[in-house]
A and B are shown apart, each in its own frame.
Chain A
């Protein structure tokens, strides 16, 4: 087994025992990354930074008081600002941008001794479900349909993170999730990803998409690894006024494997028309696994579920249109070449037309429309009211004693790159149907692989937890992971 194939927990234990060094682990990952250009997962490689940090981590480990992430090689999604390293949210409008500062989450990982290998591909400004809106070109899923060599999407927006974990290019990766951007790619690649409670991770230094929905989280090979990495990423940050001033539990210590007496809710509204039988079976099997582990199963109703997607596609573009107003060609990134006589308005309009891709332009304009005079109440305020009802659905079932909710993570397995090219934009939005409610309600949600479809592609389930209940949620997820025994890996073709 190559060192890049280790889990974070295994690597940590071997580092502590002195059986491997961080430099060994880092070199194994860098070699794997260089051999995996076909996946287009890493879009900015930082081998010099990686080796420098690995050496520092080894020195710290030798002193004996290193934290769990010390010496662990990780990839960072391009949405996170990293000091001196290109950080462009996969957008041409941030071409050449090298931040003078480090995002809080990546700084916490760095300070814990984690080793940054480079920046990971994603959809432009995290807007997309297939990684096809990236200015770097799409990342590719390491998984294929049996012997069929059709290139599949790793999902989005954290597609590079998911592809990198599935292909063992790094031990952990950061992702962000506004409507499902950690959980959907995790499900498409047989990996684990958790979106924590809104406010658990600082958003400072993460390029903003929709500020009331965005959260960072880890993407890893196992639930235990997510628990370890999440612990290093979260915590209060005075630079983000919405980050929660709450103690960070020891998530790994919460993995007791005991869920006897817990109540798992199964929401009837998630049984949508046209859902493939394979997904239904996966969901039923997962329910049986949790029951066999001693949990009580209860059918529940979340009556406003069907309105979650339209609510999201008002609120997220509205916030995006406001957040993306800053890309104007003045302070950073791209500025269009101007013609004689062009004034500042032409500079804004040409810069934004050249710098933003089609999906980002579409969402900025939808957001502009729903916030414009005469439509603000009909669309934006209406969506905020429906959002309150969606959250109340969850509050009600938690108040009735439900500890976690089990749902499918996605309505299908990974689809082919280019397959949705001619589809209506709304068709692509349907990918988020099971995940977007969780962002609207600010809850923690974890996706993990529990089976394969008939063509050999991974399928994932999602567990949704109570606010601030990540520790309990991860414990339930690990019970499901153990019961499902998902050990498949993609056959190496790259």
Chain B
């Protein structure tokens, strides 16, 4: 059985940029452990010589000329922003 301890749960939450209160970490750790234990069945499968799947249907991704096909839609792009000012997305101060 795979176990995720509270410190690992805290680290995963941090990596995922989701704030998890300290008193919720034990339950999170337990749930993640349960899910990972379920996944561990995969250890039974012999995958010697098997390539990881990259594309489910054999296809060559199409290419197109490297040319501008769109633009001049600044207002549309900013229209849903929680905070847009002077034609930019605004966020809290990043550098002092």
Q: Do A and B come from one complex?
A: yes
Q: Are A372 and B12 in contact (CB under 8 A)?
A: yes
User: How far does the Cβ of A339 sit from chain B's closest Cβ, in whole Å?
Assistant: 10
Report whether B38 and A313 are in contact in the complex, using a CB–CB cutoff of 8 Å: yes
Check A384 for interface membership: any CB of B closer than 8 A: yes
Which residues from 165 to 220 on chain A have a C-beta closer than 8 Å to any C-beta of chain B?
A: 197-199, 212
* B67 on interface, CB distance cutoff 8 Å: no
- Of residues 334 to 374 in A, which have CB atoms within 8 Å of B's CB atoms? 334-335, 338, 342-350, 352-353, 356, 361-362, 364-366, 368-370, 372
Collect the chain B residues with CB atoms within 8 Å of residue A332's CB. 80-82
Q: Tell me whether B36 and A307 are in contact (CB under 8 A).
A: no
- Please provide the chain B residues from 43 to 73 with a CB less than 8 Å away from any CB of chain A in the complex: 43-45, 47, 50-57, 59, 61-62, 64, 73
> With an 8 A cutoff between CB atoms, is B85 at the interface?
no
Q: Are A310 and B17 in contact (CB under 8 A)?
A: no
Q: Which of B32, B52, B91 contacts A330 (CB 8 A)?
A: B91
Best-surrounded residue of A346, A348, A369 (most CB of chain B within 10 A): A369
A331 to chain B, nearest CB (A): 6
Q: A330-B81, A366-B32 are in contact. Are A348 and B17 (CB under 8 A)?
A: yes
CB distance from A177 to the nearest CB of B (A): 14
Is the pair A347, B91 in contact by a Cβ cutoff of 8 Å? yes
Nearest-neighbour CB distance to chain B for A2, whole angstroms, equals 38
Please indicate the chain B residues that have their CB under 8 angstroms from the CB of A325 in the complex.
17
The answer to whether B76 and A425 touch across the interface, beta carbons within 8 angstroms, is: no
Number of A positions contacting B (CB below 8 A): 73
CB-CB nearest in chain A for B69 = A238
A304 at the interface (CB under 8 A from B): yes
Say yes or no: B62 contacts A310, CB within 8 Å: no
- CB–CB B38/A310 < 8 A: yes
Of the candidates A241, A309, A321, A369, the one whose C-beta lies within 8 Å of that of B32 is A369
Q: Chain A binding site: helix, strand, loop or mixed by DSSP?
A: helix
Residues of B within 8 A of A333 (CB): 80, 82
Which of A93-101, A154-162, A470-478, A483-491 lies at the interface with chain B?
A93-101
> Across the interface, which residues of B come within 8 angstroms of A17, CB to CB?
none
Could you tell me if A313 and B17 are in contact, using CB atoms closer than 8 angstroms? no
Q: Which residue of B lies closest to A212 (CB)?
A: B56
B64 touches A238 (CB 8 A): yes
How far is A18 from B81 in the complex, measured between Cα atoms in Å? 46
Whether the Cβ atoms of A382 and B47 lie closer than 8 Å is: yes
Smallest CB–CB gap between B54 and chain A, Å? 8
CB-based contact B15/A425 at 8 Å: no
Contact present for B17 and A97 (CB under 8 Å): no
The distance in angstroms between the C-alpha atoms of A388 and B52, with both chains bound, is: 7
The residues of A that contact B50 with a CB separation of less than 8 Å are 385, 388-389
Are A391 and B53 in contact, CB atoms less than 8 angstroms apart? yes
A230 in the interface, Cβ–Cβ < 8 Å? no
Min C-beta distance of A335 to chain B, whole Å = 4
Does any Cβ of A come within 8 Å of B28's Cβ? yes
- A selection of 23 A-B contacts at a CB cut-off of 8 Å is A100-B77, A100-B80, A199-B59, A242-B55, A304-B45, A310-B41, A333-B82, A343-B93, A344-B93, A349-B17, A349-B18, A352-B18, A352-B19, A353-B18, A362-B28, A365-B18, A365-B32, A383-B39, A385-B47, A385-B53, A387-B52, A425-B31, A442-B57
B-binding residues in A (CB < 8 A): 96-100, 197-199, 212, 238, 241-242, 244-245, 304, 306-307, 309-311, 313-314, 321, 325, 328-335, 338, 342-350, 352-353, 356, 361-362, 364-366, 368-370, 372, 379, 381-389, 391, 424-426, 429, 440-442, 467
| Known A310-B41, A388-B52; further 11 A-B contacts with Cβ < 8 A | A100-B77, A314-B39, A314-B42, A325-B17, A332-B81, A349-B17, A366-B36, A384-B52, A386-B47, A425-B35, A426-B34
Binding site for A on B (CB under 8 A): 4, 8-9, 12-13, 15-20, 28, 31-32, 34-36, 38-45, 47, 50-57, 59, 61-62, 64, 73, 76-77, 79-83, 89, 91-94
